[in-house]
Structure 1
C-alpha cells in the first residue's frame, strides 16, 4: 500500500535530493564532510542530491542525524502560508511554544518543564500522507505536521526488502516501537532476530544495532514509532562515523 497518489503537495524524489542539499549547504558542510559523517563516498552524496541514486532506510537515518534535521523536514510538503487551520484544532498554551524544530535544544524534554510545540492541524487524511520511498520500502508519515519528539509512521516492506544491508546495521538515538498489521517482518536487534506476525509488537533501544527485513512471501505493513531520536544525548557518540561506533560489522545497523 502506498498513499498520496498524485498529490502535488507531497515531496517527490527530486525534492528529497534538493532538501538534502539545502540542509547540507545551510550548515556550511561540504560533500566530503557529509560523506565522512554518514560513512559513504562524496560521489554517493552528490548522486543522491542529483537524484541519480536512492538512499536506503539506514543511510537516510545517518543523513538526518549528520544534518541535524528531522525526517519530517525531508518528508513534509512545502507549507502553505495562506492555508487556514482546520476547524477544531488544538493549540497548546505558549509555555514556551516552539514552531521551529531547529530551535529545540538537544534535550528538550524535561519532566518538570516539558517543551511542546503547538498542534496546529490535528487530522492526517489517509489519501494525503507525506511519504518517502526506498527500494522495496515505503514510509508514510501519520502526523499532519512535524513532531520533534516522535516519528509516527506506517511502513511497508515488500518481499525481499530490508532497511539496510546485513553488514551495515542501523543505529541512532531514541527508542523504537513497532506493531505488525499484515504479513511478517524480521527484526534483528543485536544478535537476536525476531519474526513478527500480525498482532505482534516489539520495543527496543535504537542505539542497539538493528535491521528490519522481509524475507517472506507477502508484503508486510506495520505501524512504527521512533521516540526521542533527535533528543537523545547518546547520539553524540555517533558523530564519529568509524565502524566501531556506527556499525556492528556483519550484524547490521
Structure 2
C-alpha cells in the first residue's frame, strides 16, 4: 500500500493536537527572566561552536545536569561559572551579561524613564518569543511590566513551567493566545485579559498565522 506524505496543514494540525493534549503532571520552575536570557545565550553560543553539552560542562568544572539547567533558565549562574563559560565559549563576559541591566547611555542619570529601544530584551528565537522588560530601574520592584511578542506557532514548549508565587495579569494586545493553566486550556483573542498565580504550572503559545502581543504585569519576587 502506498502512503501519501502528510501535508503541511496536516502536520500543523498534528502538532496542535499534541500541544492541546492533557499536559504532563510535572512542571519546571523558571528561576528568573534574566537567568532564562543568560541560559539562552549560553546554549546558542555552544551550539554555534558545535560543542556538546558534556564537553562544555567538563571544561567549566560543572556537571552536565547543572549546565543543562542553566541553559534552560532553571538555575542561576554563579560568577565563577559565568567566567568559566565565557572562557570555554570564547565569548567576552560583558557579552554574556549584556541586557541584564538597563543602559540609558553614558552619563544618563534618569532612572524613572526608559526610552523606546532601550528596554531590556530577551529573544528566545527557537521558541519564537521576544520579550521586553518595560519596568524602569527606579521601580521598587513591587510590580514588573513585560511585553511579549510571539511569532506564529511560537510557544513556551510542551512542558509546564512555573515561576515564583505572586499574581500575574496579562492582556492580549493583538493576535491569539492559547493558555494552559494546570489542566485547563483557554483560547484568548485580542482584548481578552487573564490572571494566575506565578506558582501555578502553565504553558502558552500563539496558534495563529500572525504575531501575538501580550502585556504582563507581574508582582515582584518576595524578598
Counterparts of 2:40 and 2:196 in 1: how far apart (Å)? 32
Q: Note the C-alpha offset of 1:227.
A: 1.2
Point out the structure with max Rg over C-alpha: 2
Structure 1 residue aligned with 2:75:
63
Q: Structure 2 stretches of 5 or more lacking a match? A: 1-36, 43-60, 79-96
Aligned twin of 1:132: 122
Q: In 1, distance between residues paired with 2:120 and 2:136?
A: 8
Q: C-alpha displacement at 1:169, in angstroms?
A: 0.7
Q: Give the aligned partner of residue 185 of structure 1.
A: 177
Partner of 1:195: 187
Q: Contact 1:31/1:45 (CA < 8 Å) preserved in 2?
A: no
Give the structure 2 partner of residue 172 of structure 1: 163
Contact 2:169 2:218 in 1 (8 A): yes
Pick from 63, 69, 85: which aligns with 2:109? 85
Q: Secondary structure at the match of 2:214?
A: strand
Q: Please say if 1:153 is aligned against 2:153.
A: no
Consecutive unaligned residues in structure 1, runs of 5 or more: 1-11, 18-29, 36-40, 49-58, 68-72, 87-120, 233-253
SS of alignment partner, residue 186 of structure 2? strand
Residue 33 of structure 2: aligned partner: none
Structure-1 residue corresponding to 2:30 = none
**Which residue number corresponds to residue 242 of structure 1?**
none
User: CA offset at residue 190 of structure 1?
Assistant: 0.8
Distance 1:15 1:161 in 2: 16
Question: Where does 1:1-253 land on structure 2 (aligned, <5 Å)?
Answer: 16-17=41-42, 31-32=62-63, 41-44=65-68, 48=71, 59-60=72-73, 62-64=74-76, 75-77=99-101, 83-86=107-110, 121-134=111-124, 135=126, 136-145=128-137, 147=139, 148-163=141-156, 165-166=157-158, 168-173=159-164, 174-228=166-220, 230-231=221-222
1:16, 1:74 within 8 Å by CA — same for their partners in 2? no
The answer on whether the counterparts of 1:152 and 1:225 sit within 8 Å (CA) in structure 2 is yes
Q: TM-score, normalised by structure 2?
A: 0.55
Alpha-carbon distance, 1:220 to partner: 0.1
Q: Is the 8 A contact 1:141 1:154 kept in 2?
A: yes
- In the comparison of the two structures, how many residue pairs are matched? 149
1:7-45 CA deviation, whole Å, 9 max, x = no partner?
xxxxx979954xxxxxxxxxxxx733xx7xxxxx34535
Q: Which has the higher strand share?
A: 2
* Residue 130 to residue 203, structure 1, CA distance change in 2 (3 Å): same
> How big is each residue's C-alpha offset from its partner over 1:80-120, in whole Å with a ceiling of 9 and x where there is no partner?
8962423xxxxxxxxxxxxxxxxxxxxxxxxxxxxxxxxxx
Alpha-carbon separation, structure 2, partners of 1:216 and 1:81: 38
Counterpart CA distance in 1 for 2:99 and 2:106 is 20
Given that residues 178 and 201 in structure 1 are in contact (C-alpha distance below 8 angstroms), is that contact kept between their aligned partners in structure 2?
yes
